Structure 1
Amino acid sequence: MGDFQQFVTDATARLSTMSRGELYVVGDGLDRDSLWLTFLDSFPAGTNLRFRERSAYDCSTCRGFIKHFGNVVEIHDGRVRTVWSGVSASDPVFSVVAAALDEFVLSLPLSTIFRSTQAQYGTKTTRTLRDGQVEVWHHLHGRVEKRHRIEDVGAAQGNFNAAVQVFQRGLAELAQHALDTIVDLIDDNILYRGTEHRRAVTEFRSLQNRWTQATDRRAFVFANAMNPAARFRNTVIGTLVQDLSAGVDLEQAVRSFETKVAPQNYQRPRALITPAMVKAAMKTIDELGIEESLQRRFARLSDVSVTNVLWVDNDTQPRMKDGIAGLLMQAATTRSAGAGLREAKPEEIPVVSFMKDILPAAATIDLWVANSHEPHLVSLTTGRHPAAPRLFTWDNDFGWSYNGNVTDSIKEKVKRAGGNVTGKLRVSLSWFNHDDLDLHVFEPNGDHIWYQDKRNKLDVDMNAGGTLSREPVENVTWTDRVPDGEYRIEVNQYRKRDSTDVGFVIETESNGKIEHYSYERAVGHKETVEVGRMTVAGGVITAFRPGKGMQPGSASKELWGITTEQFVPVSTIMYSPNYFDDSEVGNRHYFFILKGCVNDQPTRGIYNEFLRGDLQPHRKVFEVLGDRTKCEPSPDQLSGLGFSSTVRSSVIAKVTMTGGRRRLISIQF
């Protein structure tokens, strides 16, 4: 006879361990009595003899356990494992019983997810009275963990089975080449709102790759069926992949997708290119001999002629293409900041006057690089082959590329949304998806400013309904009296719609000083986040205590190798290449090349706006070429801040004149 009590202990422990994860059942339509008969028939001869009316282990309590838990399995490291795996391995009797049950259960196909309405199957012990003696009997028993209990088992299993079917069909029907094509369209920014779907596409593609390599594909499907990506086939982006997998023409498939997701008046900014278009463009490229011209790189200082440099720092002179002849600056001076200069009010000078009156006598120049200047980061590019024909409308091979993937400042967003940014005190909320976040401000006297009681202070409330934006803001401004005391600021998630681009930023402004506080986690449905407590004295913010999870957002950060919110030395100042050599083609830009500024991302060297006239008929192909022939990062590049003559902006410069005088100037563009 074996040790049945140890068998019970092992089986109970095994079930408890399995229950920490997801549980499944095998044997669709299985006759549960077959499990019980397998148990009884598996005992070695002479180990389950008749006891009173039935055999020793023919127990109705244990029978209930085996019928309900006997075919429950887990999926561990891609393999199906049963309740009986390894149970009583050292026992000569019950190791045989467990092995027989294990073999039988593993022979059955995965059926569905395990759910139960009951909390317990079987009883740990029972007691009987025989001849005046109490007998204690041990039984197989198990508890159903809360995560596996549900009132409507049929509905839960039906939902799971539907998810399995959708996942299985997607894995089998969606072609790898179609998924790769969609990722390329998204990365090339061709697909309307494609970036919203990129994660779904790549996650499903990853699952499909793992599925093809799985030892037990059915187990893989079950283990991942509840992953949101498993329902990819039935999503709007999934229908696009279906079409491509079925052989639908790329242009037709994308147009069908766009009719589902795009507004009626949407026009895709970048058309798809066809083989015929590529063939025609390549014919022109070959005829003009400009294939080498398409190879681009970051420009170096040694590429630029001295005649196209407006100003250069002394330390930079030896690196110039044409030496130092003709340069205006004759002497170097110290770079010390100067007492009180940092706090002084800068002189406002138009850029034309700065170039004419200040630059010729400047010995050193440092720019205050603010976080808000991130969109102004710019790199100069050129061709890899200097002798190759030019691509652009001006007579040189230089181009430029801005860091264009950054949204406008919160203040500018509020202005565009119709909010007031000129009051004495302002608190603005900005977020990045279709969620409906609400800004709540409690004044020192307890007055509550929010969308239901705006008190003539809350003037922007976006994503509440109707048109949704991915650059929403809310704004509270005090234009007249600003009560002194402590303000409490909160953000509430009124309606959660998105799971991407989560978090938000709070911007405060008083007395001309702007501060940011960011929350980088998702805000749950109906969740309220305490942004912080703001102290105001004399109408000015004197202190701000951020709430839990809030991070100061106006602190300096590393961008392109430089640190923001501080002065950075300027090495070179020049116009944009379309104004080199006395050319005047299009809008003029002013480039301030900064020491140590290095763009660490592959950057476009070709833009359609730059192309010469005979290449314009092939704009669609060149749009793709611009993305596919990016300049690889290099350490000796020309990068810094750029400002267009047609866009109002400003930057603060600390200038040391050749005579030693120091000036703080706000250059106005």
Structure 2
Amino acid sequence: MKIKELKVLLQENFNKLSQETTKLFEVDLDKDLFWNLYLDSFPEGTNEIFRERREYDCSCCRQFIKSIGNVVSIKNNEIKTIWDFETNDTTFQPVINTLSNYVKSQAVSDVYVSKFKKIGTDRNFENTGLKVIKWDHLYMELPEKFIERGHKSEAEIKGAYRDTRYVFKRSLEEITEESLITVLELISQNSLYKGEEWKGVLTEFLKLKKAYGKLQTEKEKDNYTWEQSVKVGAVIGRIRNHSTGTLLINISEEMDLDTAVKKYEAIVAPSNYKRPKAIFTQKMLDDAKKTIEKLGYFESLSRRHATLDDITVNNILFSNKDSAKRIQGATNIFEEMSKEVAINPKSFSRVEEVSIGSFVENILPTANELDVFLENRHSSSMVSLIAPVNKDAKTMFKWNNAFSWAYSGNIADSALKERVKSAGGNVEGVLRFSIQWNDGQHDRNDLDAHCCEPNGNWIYYGDKTNRFTTGELDVDIINPERGVPAVENITWTDRDRMLEGTYKFLVHNYTHRGGKNGFKAEIEFDGQIYSFEYNKEMRNGEKVVVAEVTFNRNTGFTIKEKIPFNVSSKEVWGLKTNQFVPVSVVCYSPNYWDEQQGIGHRHYMFMLKDCINTEQPNAFYNEFLNEELMQHKRVLEALGSKMAVNTVDDQLSGLGFSSTKRNDLLVRVKGQSERVLKVKF
């Protein structure tokens, strides 16, 4: 076989590939190496030296091999090369087999783009002086659909295809099927502004997502995204970058559904838009109801405040005289405790400090009476135990009893942290500074979180990101909504890139609009949360330094508080602050009752005499629920917040402290003697 015949077969094979696809692709390879592979693949003795070079070693064939030899088609995730054909020739067949196998072993890197119809040189002539020799070369003509006639360069066109494919692959990996189904259901019930415009796009993307999920290897996934990205167009290919894509990403990342939809509406809907229906669908409700009934949890949904009659002595670390009479199995009797007038907590600045572990193990067992000093800063630590109305109801939770708990503000742990998360902020960094205001009376002030990094760089609303240190202000509230606590958040995500030195955190009242309630703040590092509360009115333009955190790569983080104590008394859940309050019961959170270990964070609960929860606590939280219920987490999230918790006068409410949150509590203990201790959490 001559090369003239080979290029006919090559053109026929290329024409066949062209009929099966709208775009061709390139694989990433070293073109000089590929050219040498072509030359070296000829069987020994078949590529003889002709005067000064081998017969097929010419610049025309080299240009052809380098320009189009790495081109492939992708159909149904199968790669085909321009070399996939039979010649029935012992000289050329080994060559094209080698080229085909090598091309298939490489990764697709680009869409093939050409400005020219003719690839290579068909033939040319050489005059030796004795005769004229005709040379045939590898050559091909492209169908018109593969020729780019526009003004954009090949590099620009390839770059656009690469970008679309990159976004498409990210979309397939980061957007969950559940989020797509949820948004499609919202569209079907007309609960999403202009959602109908996206129904067809989302339905098609869901099909692509399901197909992508069935692929096993990374190479299959890469080929699939190249093949599909050139078919689906820019809207689907770049869905992640659209407003609906932002909604899908937020839902996929477990953002509260109502918050995610509000963020979407803030982008696309007019300011006076009112959503016509609830944020969950009837189908979601029906499916959840079927599962709850099937698993025997229907009786477990009704909840009430827990009382002393609900708990047993086995799960009590301490009880006073009145409580002991009612606790199942308890017989201890203690003396009545008296109330105290307001006291300045600074007067206890030098008391003995003990860890919570030492307090539980060594001090509580010998205590006859126990009071805690309730401070203003403990307002967010108020907690209630919640029990099932039906004592025999099956537990819905990850632990072996049917009890749950709810902190002030209807959260399972840190209220501020949960609100930052719901607002789209990152709460998983190595260092976090969050602020909150507008959580009482309507406070329209525009407060800003600031940080001065060790090198003097400021992270604030005017310069939100330091890409070098990974510090970023990711939540910035300018106009607080009535009834919605406002938050701002700065987080550093990479310890290795942070600068050593002191990070100065402050709050700036950029615009005073009548708010008089100050702010709350949290600083978190190494799994510990430091809480602050500033209860004074901030003047227009005033800056309040909250704390300074010093970072050393060897010793880690240390903190120096800057906000002074506030000793004014106020009422919290029926109790006066800045005085000692009698403790009825001390216990662990229910996930650590009956000597259970490792089911979430441990909380230490000090139930206070005459403490009455004045809020409407959640019946339960999704993070408490058994895994078998999580397929309906959107509905259960709504049920937990909307179902009434029946109140009782002798409820178990008081103070709660997470084992993961840095805090302290002044306690007065009476046993053989009386002493005041500071318990460190």
Structure-2-length-normalised TM-score: 0.44
Structure-1-length-normalised TM-score: 0.44
